[in-house]
Structure 1
C-alpha cells in the first residue's frame, strides 16, 4: 500500500501525460495523420494538462485559499481538458464543416470552458499576456464606447469572442500558432530534450571552459561560446541564461570579472542564442509560416544575422575583458572524456540537421525528427559504453530510465509551455483581427509612409519596443509581424527585410528597458544591480539595434543567399565592429587623439552600414577594417586594467558587510 502511495505522485502523473503527448507527436511526425488542425484539437488539452501539473508541483494555484480548494481546482481543470479533448475529437467533422456559424449550445459551452481555462492559466504563467487579452476582450465587446475615433468599432458579441477563439479551430486556442507549436516546433524541441536528458548542455559548458584556455581575457568568451551552443536548441533568453549563466557567471567572477560585467556578458550572449539557428527563439518557424517558404530558407539567412551579432559581441567582450582583467595566467580545468564525446555528438547532430535540410532537401520537421533520433541514439550508446564498459565514476549514480525520464519530461514541459503561449497569442491575434485594429494600425503606418518610409520604420521600431517591454520574443514577433509587416510590404519593403526587422525587434524587446527578464535572471545569479546589468548589456548588444536598420540598406544580407549575401554580411559585420570598437576600444594613449580617431571609425562604420552605394560602402570598409585589427592590438597595450564600475561594486559590498 505504501509503495502504491509512493507511485501516485504529481510528478509520476505528469510523466504519464508526457509519455502520451510524445507518443502522439511521434505518430504524427511519422504519419501526418489528420493534419495539424486535428492534431491541435486532440493535443492542446493534453498540453494544458501537463502545464497544470508542472505548475502545481511547485506551488498552489491559489495560495491564499485552502489546500482542498486548490486540489479541487486542479481536478476540475484537468476534467475540462479531458472532456474538451473527447468532445471536440469525436465531433470534429461536424463542428469544423457542418456546424460552422451555427454552433450548438453544447459546442459553445465546451468552447467557453476552454477559453476561460486558457485565460486563467495565462493569468498564472503569462500574466502580461493575460491582462492584454483581458483589456482586448472589453475593447472587442464595447469598442463603440471609445471616444477616440482611431479605436472606435461597432462592437462584437461575447458569443463571437468565444467562438472565434475556440470552436472555429482556425483561430484562437486551436489556430495556426498552437498547430505550429505542436508540429514543427515540437519536432525541434526533441533535440533540446535529448541533450538535456543526457547532460549534453552541461558538457558543452565544461568544454567551452576548457577551450577558454589559460588567459583570463578569454574567460568571458566562455559565456559567449556556451550560450551560442545552448541557444541553438533553446527558444528562451531567460532559460538560456539560467542554464549557462549558473556556470559561466560564477566562473567569470572567480577569475576577477566584476559582477555587473559578468551578468551583462551572459545576458548579451543569451540574446545571441535567440538569434542563432536552428531555433531562432521559435520565431524562425513562424517566419517560415508567414512567408510560406521552407524553414531552411529562414535558417540560411539567420546564420548571416547571427554571424554579424557574434562578430561584434566577441569583439566587445574582448575589449572589455582586456580593460578589466589582469594578464596573469590561469589553470584551465580538466574536462572528462565523456563531456568531450557528448559535445561532439551535439555538434555532429547540428551539422547533420543542416546537411539534411540544406543538401538533401528534407523538410524541417522530418529533418529535426531524424536528427533528434541520431543524437538520442548516440547519447544512449555513449552512456552505456562509459557506464558499463569504461566504468566511469561520473555515471555511478545515473540510470538509463532516469535519463529517459528527464528527456520525456523536458520535451513535454517545453512543448506544453509553448503551446499555452501560442494558444494565448492565438486569442490575442484573433481579437485584434475581429476588432479591425490591425487594419487601422496598418493604415496609420501607411499614412506615415506617405511622409517618408524612414518615419514608418522609426514608428514601427517604437511600436515594437513598447510591445517587447512586457512580452517574450515569440509573442513580440507575432504581433509585430501581423501589424507592422503588411504596411512595410505595401510601401515596397522586401518581405524578407520586413520580417527580419520584426525578428530583430522581438529579440531587442527581450532586452529593452525598462524590463528584461534575461537581464533580471543574469543579475540575480551575479548578485548585481538589475538596472546596471541591463544598461551594460544594452551597450554590448548594440549590434542588434544597428542591424535592425542596416538590413534596409544592405538588404542582400537577408534577401539573396549566395555571394550577394556574403558581401552584405561582411559589410554589416565590419560596420558593427567599427561602431563597437568606437564605444569600447582605445587606440591612442592621448584622450583627444583617441577620441578623434574612434569617432572617425564610427563614421566610417556608419558609411559601411548605411550608404546606399555598395562601392562607397566597400571603400569605407576597406579603410576601417585594418583600423579595427590594429586598434584591437593597441588596445591590449593601452587599456587600463580597471573596471570603472568595480570600485562602486566593492564599496556596495563593503557597505552591505558593515550593515
Structure 2
C-alpha cells in the first residue's frame, strides 16, 4: 500500500492514539515512569507469562492454586503499574511507597491460599482462623481498588452494593429481596476462599484460557498482523462503492478476532481507517460509527471472540467449538448489516471506490504475508479437532512465536522477547481484575439466593410473557454494560438472567447465554455511555453522541438477531439440518440487506418514510427463518425495489441528509 494514502489529512487533524486511549480506555492509564521498580514489574510480568505457559504444558496445579498465583501476581503488578488517580501516571517519577506496600500485601493475600492450602481446604469444617479472616477482608478491599484502577468505578460500585447486600440483607423490608444476612467474617471468607467467589469460574477460566489467548494476540501484534489485515481488507474492498468504509468493516472484524477490545480495536484500526473514510467523503460521525461498530463486533467474531466466550463454555459445559460454531451465523449477520449499511450510505452520498493504482495487490500481499494467518488456522484446526482451548492457545502461541522469526523486522532478540512476555501480562491485568470482581458478584448470587429472587422479579414484571422478559433482560445487560467490561457483564447476567430464560421460559441454553452476551457487548456503542463510539469520534473529530447514535443504526443487527435466535434457535445451530441451515442463512442475509436499507434510508433511491418502514418489517420477517414469513418479507422488499426502480426522481420528497 502506498504510504501517502494512510495519512492524507490536514495537519490540525493529527491523531494522538495514545491520548485517545488514555481518555476512553481505563486500561491505558498506566505509569510512564517506574523508577527502580521497573525491573520488578518486568520480573513479575515475565514470570506470570512463563507460569501460564508452564501450567499449560504440564497441567500440574489444581485450579484453585493456579487461580491464586494468577490473581495474586496480577494484583501486585497492578499496584506497581497503575496510579491511584488518573493523571498521576505522567507526573510521578517512580512508584510511591504506599503503592509498593499495597502491591506486596495484595500478592500475599493471593498467595495465602497456596501457603495454607490444606488448612483452608479443611476450614469449611474446622472454621477459619483470625489471620484467614483478616487476609480475606484485605484481599477483597485490595481487589476492588485494583479493579477501580484498571477497569473503572462502575463495576466496583456494583460489587460493593452486592457485598453490602450480603451483610445487610436482613434489613431489606421487602421479602422478594431480603435474606438472613451474613456476618462480615463469614461474607469475606466465603467470597475469598471458597470456589464460588473470587476464585470461582471466571478467574479459573481467565487463568486457564484467557491469559494464553491474550498473550497470543500480543505476539500477533508484534508480527504487525494488524497492518496486514488493513492492507488485505483494502485490497479486497477498496475498489467498490464506499470502499474505504467497507475496508474498515473487514479490517476491524479481522483485528477484533485477535484483540478482543472494543476501544483498543477502534483506536488501533481507526487511526488508519477513519481519516481514509473522511477523505473519501463520509461524514465524520459516520466514519467514527463504522469503525466503532465493526470493532465492537470483534468480540462476537469466531474463532477467538471475546474473553466471555470462554466462560460461556464452562457455564454451558460444552466444547469451545460448540460456542464458536454457534456464533458464526449471528456474527455474519452482524457484520453483513454494517457492511451493507456502509454500501447504502455510499450510494446515497455517491462515494465511489478508490482507483486500482492506489490499492495494494491481494496476490502480492498473500505471497508476502499470507503465512501470518497460519497461527489462526492452527488454533481453529486444533479446536475443531477436539483439543481444549488451552492446548489450542498454546499451539497458537508457539506458531505465532516461530512465525515472528521469518521476517527481519519482526524477528525478536532476547530483550524483545522479554518485552513481549511482559506485555502479555500487562494486557491481561484488566481482564484478571474484572473476572475476579465478577466472581464477587457471582459469589453473592450463590450464597444469598439472589438468582432465585431475581427470577421471581422478572417473571412478575414480565407477567410471564417471554418477549417482555427478554426486553427487561436486554435493558439490564445494556445498563450493566455501560459501566462493566463485557466479561464481568456476562458473568453477572449469565448468573442471574440467563437461568431465568432457560428454566422459566424454556429457552435453549446456548441461545439464552448468547442473548446476554450480545447485549453486554453492544453497550460499548449504545448511548449515552458508548466508549468505543466516543473513541472513534475522538479520532474523527466528530460529535460523540451522534457517532453513538449512528453506530447503533449500523449495528442494528445486534439488537435484532438475539431475539430471533431465542424464538428460533436455528441461527445458533440448535435442532438444525443442512437444508434448514442454508435456508436460514440465505434468507437472513437478504433480510439484513432490507433492514440496513431501511435504517440508512436508501435502496435503489432515497427511501421515503413509509418505504423504510416496509423495508424494516420485511427484513425482520426474512430474518426469522420460517417459510411463510420469508415469502411475505421477500414480497415486501421486492415491492419497494420495484417502486423505486420506476421512480425517475424523488419529487422533492427525498429525505434530508443529516448535517455534519
Contact 2:285 2:542 in 1 (8 A): yes
Contact 1:301 1:557 in 2 (8 A): yes
- Aligned position for 1:134: 160
What SS class does the counterpart of residue 386 from structure 2 fall into?
A: coil
Q: 1:586 aligns with which of 602, 606, 610?
A: 602
Q: CA deviation at 1:405?
A: 3.8
Q: Residues 138-217 of structure 1: matches in 2 within 5 Å?
A: 138-168=164-194, 170-215=195-240, 217=242
Q: CA deviation at 1:475?
A: 1.8
The 10-residue stretch of structure 1 (104-113 or 559-568) with the greater mean CA deviation from structure 2: 559-568
Q: 1:277 aligns with which of 302, 307, 320?
A: 302
- Aligned position for 1:654: none
What CA deviation, in whole Å up to 9, does each residue of 1:18-47 have, x standing for no partner?
110111111111111122221011221111
Q: 2:466 aligns with which of 419, 432, 453?
A: 453
Q: 1:550 aligns with which of 560, 564, 568?
A: 564
What CA deviation, in whole Å up to 9, does each residue of 1:475-507 have, x standing for no partner?
221111111111111221111211111111212
Contact 1:140 1:435 in 2 (8 A): yes
What SS class does the counterpart of residue 292 from structure 2 fall into?
A: helix
What SS class does the counterpart of residue 166 from structure 1 fall into?
A: helix
- Aligned position for 2:387: 362
- Aligned position for 1:3: none
What SS class does the counterpart of residue 306 from structure 2 fall into?
A: helix
Separation in 1 of the partners of 2:589 and 2:98?
54
What CA deviation, in whole Å up to 9, does each residue of 1:572-611 have, x standing for no partner?
33222211112224346586xx555444333322222348
Distance of aligned partners of 1:601 and 1:163 in 2 relative to their CA distance in 1, 3 Å threshold: same
Distance of aligned partners of 1:422 and 1:78 in 2 relative to their CA distance in 1, 3 Å threshold: same
Separation in 1 of the partners of 2:456 and 2:287?
45
Q: CA deviation at 1:527?
A: 1.3
Separation in 2 of the partners of 1:111 and 1:451?
41
What CA deviation, in whole Å up to 9, does each residue of 1:117-142 have, x standing for no partner?
10111222221111122222222222
Instruction: Tell me how large the CA RMSD over aligned residues is.
Output: 3.3
Q: 1:28 aligns with which of 52, 55, 75?
A: 55
- Aligned position for 2:628: 616
What SS class does the counterpart of residue 82 from structure 2 fall into?
A: helix
The reply on whether 1:601 has 2:615 as its aligned counterpart is yes
Q: 1:415 aligns with which of 423, 428, 443?
A: 428
- Aligned position for 1:571: 587
What CA deviation, in whole Å up to 9, does each residue of 1:73-106 have, x standing for no partner?
1211221134335432221122123555601112
Distance of aligned partners of 1:605 and 1:256 in 2 relative to their CA distance in 1, 3 Å threshold: closer
What CA deviation, in whole Å up to 9, does each residue of 1:440-466 have, x standing for no partner?
111222345654222222222222222
Separation in 1 of the partners of 2:569 and 2:373?
30
Separation in 2 of the partners of 1:413 and 1:233?
16
- Aligned position for 1:508: 522
Contact 1:316 1:584 in 2 (8 A): yes
- Aligned position for 1:49: 76
Separation in 2 of the partners of 1:115 and 1:10?
25
Distance of aligned partners of 1:417 and 1:465 in 2 relative to their CA distance in 1, 3 Å threshold: closer
Q: 1:532 aligns with which of 538, 546, 556?
A: 546
Contact 1:571 1:621 in 2 (8 A): no
- Aligned position for 2:99: 74
Distance of aligned partners of 1:638 and 1:225 in 2 relative to their CA distance in 1, 3 Å threshold: farther
- Aligned position for 1:295: 320
Separation in 2 of the partners of 1:320 and 1:587?
10
Contact 1:555 1:568 in 2 (8 A): no
What SS class does the counterpart of residue 552 from structure 1 fall into?
A: helix
Separation in 1 of the partners of 2:46 and 2:209?
19
Q: CA deviation at 1:276?
A: 0.3
Q: CA deviation at 1:250?
A: 1.6
- Aligned position for 1:383: 407
The 10-residue stretch of structure 1 (306-315 or 129-138) with the greater mean CA deviation from structure 2: 129-138
Unaligned runs of 5+ in 2: 1-32
Separation in 2 of the partners of 1:271 and 1:67?
33
Contact 1:581 1:628 in 2 (8 A): no
What CA deviation, in whole Å up to 9, does each residue of 1:348-405 have, x standing for no partner?
32222222221x222221012112211221222x224xx5xxxxxxx7xx85345424
Distance of aligned partners of 1:635 and 1:427 in 2 relative to their CA distance in 1, 3 Å threshold: farther
| Aligned length, in residue pairs | 621
Separation in 1 of the partners of 2:271 and 2:606?
40
Unaligned runs of 5+ in 1: 1-5, 388-394, 650-659
Q: CA deviation at 1:172?
A: 2.6
- Aligned position for 1:476: 489
- Aligned position for 1:435: 448
Contact 2:297 2:331 in 1 (8 A): yes
What SS class does the counterpart of residue 176 from structure 2 fall into?
A: helix
Contact 1:465 1:509 in 2 (8 A): yes
- Aligned position for 1:219: 244
Q: CA deviation at 1:173?
A: 2.4
The 10-residue stretch of structure 1 (84-93 or 492-501) with the greater mean CA deviation from structure 2: 84-93
Q: CA deviation at 1:530?
A: 0.8
Q: 2:122 aligns with which of 97, 119, 122?
A: 97
Q: CA deviation at 1:622?
A: 5.1
Normalising by structure 2, what TM-score?
0.86
Q: CA deviation at 1:163?
A: 0.7
Distance of aligned partners of 1:600 and 1:85 in 2 relative to their CA distance in 1, 3 Å threshold: closer
What SS class does the counterpart of residue 566 from structure 2 fall into?
A: coil
Contact 1:586 1:635 in 2 (8 A): no
